[in-house]
């Protein structure tokens, strides 16, 4: 396959890789829950149901997007769809003669290649290269062509609201470089502000249709189909949490209702699991993690046996939580804790950026 259409590695790709390394550190530094943190009231153990609460009907997932105006599938692989305004680099080989051309796609979808105007609007870079080869084959023997997208100008999305104020980023209009999920787009623009409400992100399509996305549900269910694929002309609005809403604890993974739980003094793990509807039948509850603290300074990662808390009333496991604690109940049979984190890392990155500003992840080897 040619190098056609492959964008240079940017902030999103780097952030995803660095985040994965940071999460490996979190897993490595997990520590057992100290007995000294146990509460004194035995009645709190009864607050944790195991699948007793009937699950609420799940929010409808966004429709599966196989293709849209931004990308097309080539042999099952999503590739950027070239359109007017995009700037291309065309590499031509005709025997011993080689040319490197920089061309802009015209409004009619054609590009000038030597003495020809070749229609390539709506094609991927790979498809455009083959189309140019076919046009040149009438004049040259076995021409070889590669196409590289240098500037992605034809498809853009707008982001407004509680966006991180990183220099050179923030609210504004940004290019879409192929199939782009909402979480990936947020990482591209620098993340969200601390006060961002990630449960009610509003995406308005160019035709006026609007979709509300809950990124906490994406993390909690590990279901990327709920991480909306953006299209050209979309406007993403990140609302601000109401006053006091920042004092929350977040619970993800194998609970009935993942999401945010309002913090109150003395809030315990048992109470949070109860408010989340209890653990599911496939939860590896004995491997529950509580992530606490600023990732820049090195967070504390506690391991709590929620299974023991629920089944045996082991109150040593019922840790008292703090605002912005993140409780993660993994699924049994995942193979490893790191595998679970890798599955949810794109959206967890955005949520973490929203909770803790100016996070720096250090690259380490597993």
- Residue 112, beta-bridge partner list: 117
Backbone angles phi, psi at 212, to 5 degrees: -100, 130
**pLDDT surpassing 60 at residue 303:** yes
Most confidently modeled range among 108-112, 167-171, 179-183, 347-351: 108-112
Among 180, 208, 238, the domain boundary falls at: 238
Is 104 in the same domain as 135? Answer: yes
Q: Find the mean pLDDT for residues 270-295.
A: 84
Angle made by CA atoms 246, 250, 253, in degrees to the nearest 5: 160
Q: Can you tell me the distance from the alpha carbon of 28 to that of 16, in angstroms, rounded to the nearest whole number?
A: 19
Among 219, 238, 257, the domain boundary falls at: 238
Is 97 in the same domain as 176? Answer: no
Assigned token pair, 170: 């923030």
Residue 319 lies in a domain: yes
Q: Can you tell me the distance from the alpha carbon of 13 to that of 108, in angstroms, rounded to the nearest whole number?
A: 33
Is 147 in the same domain as 191? Answer: no
Among 34-48, 82-96, 190-204, 207-221, whose mean pLDDT is lowest? 34-48
Strand ranges inside 199-298, DSSP E: 201-204, 210-213, 235-238, 248-253, 259-262, 288-292
Is 309 in the same domain as 327? Answer: yes
**pLDDT surpassing 90 at residue 52:** no
* pLDDT tens by residue, 202-243: 999 999 999 998 887 776 555 667 789 999 999 999 998 877
SS (H, E, C) 135-201: HHCCCCCCCEEEEEEEECCCCEEEEEECECCCCCCCCEEEECCCCCEHHHHHHHCCCECCCECCCCE
Res 197: pLDDT: 85
Assigned token pair, 323: 């605002």
Res 55: pLDDT: 45
The boundaries of the domain holding residue 102 are 82-151
Among 86-95, 108-117, 284-293, whose mean pLDDT is lowest? 284-293
Q: Can you tell me the distance from the alpha carbon of 344 to that of 299, in angstroms, rounded to the nearest whole number?
A: 19
* 122-to-13, 53, 116, 318 alpha-carbon distances in Å: 25, 50, 18, 57
CA dihedral 249, 19, 172, 203 (to 10 degrees): -50
Is 336 in the same domain as 269? Answer: yes
**pLDDT surpassing 50 at residue 109:** yes
Distance of CA 236 to the CA centre of its chain: 14
Is 287 in the same domain as 193? Answer: no
Residue 13 lies in a domain: no
Mean pLDDT estimate for the chain: 75
Answer whether 152's CB lies under 8 Å from 124's CB. no
Is 250 in the same domain as 350? Answer: yes
**pLDDT surpassing 90 at residue 309:** no
Residue 197: which CATH number?
Answer: 3.10.560.10
Query: Does 111 or 286 have the greater pLDDT score?
Result: 111
Residue 77 lies in a domain: no
Is 220 in the same domain as 284? Answer: no
Among 151, 167, 187, the domain boundary falls at: 151
Distance of CA 23 to the CA centre of its chain: 15
* pLDDT tens by residue, 336-345: 556 655 555 5
Structural domain count of the chain: 3
* Closest listed residue to residue 16, CA positions, set 344, 327, 357: 344
Among 145-159, 228-242, 346-360, whose mean pLDDT is lowest? 346-360
DSSP summary character for residue 345: H
Residue 73 lies in a domain: no
Res 292: pLDDT: 81
Backbone angles phi, psi at 31, to 5 degrees: -125, 150
Q: Can you tell me the distance from the alpha carbon of 38 to that of 318, in angstroms, rounded to the nearest whole number?
A: 6
Res 21: pLDDT: 34
Is 28 in the same domain as 95? Answer: no
Residues of the chain above pLDDT 90, percent: 33
Is 334 in the same domain as 256? Answer: yes
For CA atoms 331, 217, 211, 175, give the dihedral sign. negative
* Closest listed residue to residue 300, CA positions, set 17, 19, 32: 32
Residue 334 lies in a domain: yes
Mapped onto helix, strand or coil, the DSSP state of residue 247 is: coil
Is 163 in the same domain as 230? Answer: yes
Residue 6 lies in a domain: no
Residue 128: which CATH number?
Answer: 3.30.1950.10
Query: Does 165 or 97 have the greater pLDDT score?
Result: 97
Is 315 in the same domain as 348? Answer: yes
């Amino acid at each position: 396959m040619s190098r056609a259409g492959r964008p240079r590695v940017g902030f999103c790709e780097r952030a995803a890789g660095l985040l994965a390394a940071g999460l490996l550190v979190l897993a490595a530094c997990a520590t057992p829950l100290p007995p000294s943190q146990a509460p004194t009231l035995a009645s709190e153990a009864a607050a944790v149901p195991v699948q007793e609460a009937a699950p609420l009907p799940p929010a409808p997932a966004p429709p599966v997007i196989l293709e849209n105006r931004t990308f097309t599938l080539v042999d099952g692989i999503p590739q950027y769809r070239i359109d007017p305004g995009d700037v291309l680099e065309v590499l031509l080989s005709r025997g011993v003669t080689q040319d490197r051309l920089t061309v802009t796609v015209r409004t009619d979808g054609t590009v000038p290649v030597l003495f020809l105007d070749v229609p390539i609007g709506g094609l991927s870079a790979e498809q455009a290269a083959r189309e140019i080869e076919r046009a040149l084959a009438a004049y040259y023997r076995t021409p070889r062509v590669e196409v590289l997208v240098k500037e992605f100008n034809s498809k853009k999305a707008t982001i407004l609201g509680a966006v991180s104020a990183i220099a050179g980023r923030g609210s504004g209009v940004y290019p879409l470089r192929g199939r782009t999920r909402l979480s990936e787009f947020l990482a591209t623009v620098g993340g969200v502000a601390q006060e961002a409400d990630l449960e009610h992100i509003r995406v308005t399509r160019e035709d006026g249709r609007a979709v509300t996305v809950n990124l906490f549900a994406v993390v909690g269910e590990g279901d990327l189909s709920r991480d909306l694929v953006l299209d050209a002309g979309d406007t993403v609005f990140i609302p601000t949490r109401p006053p006091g809403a920042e004092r929350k604890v977040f619970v993800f993974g194998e609970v009935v209702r993942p999401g945010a739980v309002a913090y109150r003094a003395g809030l315990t793990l048992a109470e949070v699991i109860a408010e989340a509807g209890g653990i599911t039948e496939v939860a590896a509850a004995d491997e529950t993690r509580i992530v606490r603290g600023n990732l820049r300074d090195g967070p504390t990662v506690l391991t709590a046996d929620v299974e023991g808390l629920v089944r045996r009333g082991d109150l040593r496991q019922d840790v008292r939580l703090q605002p912005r604690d993140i409780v993660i109940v993994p699924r049994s049979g995942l193979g490893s804790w790191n595998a679970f984190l890798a599955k949810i890392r794109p959206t967890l990155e955005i949520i973490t950026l929203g909770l803790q500003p100016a996070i720096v992840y250090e690259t380490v080897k597993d």
